[in-house]
Amino acid sequence: MAGRSITLFELLGFKIRVDISWLFLAVLVTWSLAQGAFPLWYEGLSAATYWAMGVAGMLGLVFSLIFHELSHSVVARRYGLPIKGITLFIFGGVAEMTEEPKSAKVEFWMAIAGPLASFALAAAFYLTAGLLGAALGLPVPVNAVLDYLAFINLLLGAFNMIPAFPMDGGRVLRAALWHWRGDLRQATRIASNAGKGFGLLLMALGVLSVVTGNFIGGMWWFLIGLFVRGAAESSYQQMLSRSLFAGEPVRRFMTHDTVAVPPDLPLDRFVEDYVYEHHHDLFPVVSGQRLLGCIAVRQLKAEPREKWPYLTVGKLMQPCTGENTVDPGMDAIEAMALMNRTGSSRLLVAVGDRLVGIVVLKDMLELFSLKMDLEGPG
């Protein structure tokens, strides 16, 4: 789900974001409803009416996805699990958890909340269409959109209940295995394998559809299968990294021998003696024992090359912030999450204005690989 997202609004304390990739899905859904489904199901309406129905159906789908993910988020917060926000992307939506559930019970109720919400919405749309349609005689376009939303929520709830991790049904399966076996890692491995198997099945169905002439539908199923398989694998690896690094402070992984830059160094010497020599993307700027700020390689692009000999690092450096500097007592999982969020592979480690080290993603991943080799996936 990598991509650039836009925050739409905040609801119940959760930021609702949309990934740029979702715009493609919004256009595809609107077009398929306006030019395919609604004209096929309800003949004799104008083109403008079909397009209005398509837009209404797409907006209803957005509401349904947010309602589904919001249900996960509310239950997660009820049990003390932090949720960064809700993001809609090309394959649907996701509530962004930063921690694993504390127990099988928490996992179960958090996972089941989404499908139950979708089934409740399906019933609400169906009853609204039936009761109001009979009592008020709703126009055909309105009734059609309500019927579509009832169907799509029923489909959304049922699809998510397939026992393939990290889908909701896969999380329910993991919760059951976790409760039965008492081992989260083993339960996650089994549920993740089920997810990878389901992804392969969808990919095979996609190839079969392409071969039989349904190119667009086949490619769509293939991409969904590819995503499910990749998500299952990455979710398992993420759980392993959390279990291996949980409770470990940054000081366990930081390097004390840091490469620091003096503030009076000209930019051309900085590039030659530090950037090209050490290949880092971020350098601390230090005077004596005091951390003055930091300078990133990308900042150099804003300055013309001919000015480099006349500008110093001190002129270009920026203050150290919580985006690039951490405390040595910070949990290693939080540090990795910060790296992922900012796109940086290096974080400065400081106590007050004193630089004590630097933590590098590569070092943490190497330790993760070593621990995996020694302790095994089980």
Give the tokens for residue 295: 């300078």
C-alpha 57: how far from chain center = 25
Please compute Rg for the chain using Cα positions: 26
Say how far apart CA 195 and CA 168 lie, in whole Å. 11
E strand or H helix at 284, and its extent?
strand 282-287
CB–CB of 145/138 below 8 Å? no
Which single residue is written with the structure tokens 């005091």? Answer: 290
For tokens 């921690």, name the residue: 99
**Cβ atoms of 258 and 284 closer than 8 Å:** yes
Report the distance separating Cα 160 and Cα 51, nearest Å. Answer: 29
Tokens 């029923």: give the residue: 154
Classified as helix, coil or strand, 148 is: helix
Parallel, antiparallel or unpaired: strands 282-287 and 290-296: antiparallel
Residue 258 sits at the vertex; the CA angle it makes with 306 and 315, to the nearest 5 degrees, is 30
What's the rounded Cα separation, in Å, for the pair 226 and 200?
7
Residue of 56, 50, 51, 94 whose CA lies nearest to 72 = 94
Q: Which residues are catalytic?
A: 69
Closest residue by Cα to residue 377 from 176, 187, 100, 179: 187
Q: Judge whether 165 and 195 are in contact, CB under 8 Å.
A: yes
Rounded Cα gap, residues 138 and 295, in angstroms: 63
Cα–Cα distance for residue pair 70/72, rounded to 1 Å: 5
Kindly report the CA angle at 21 between 20 and 25, in degrees rounded to 5? 120
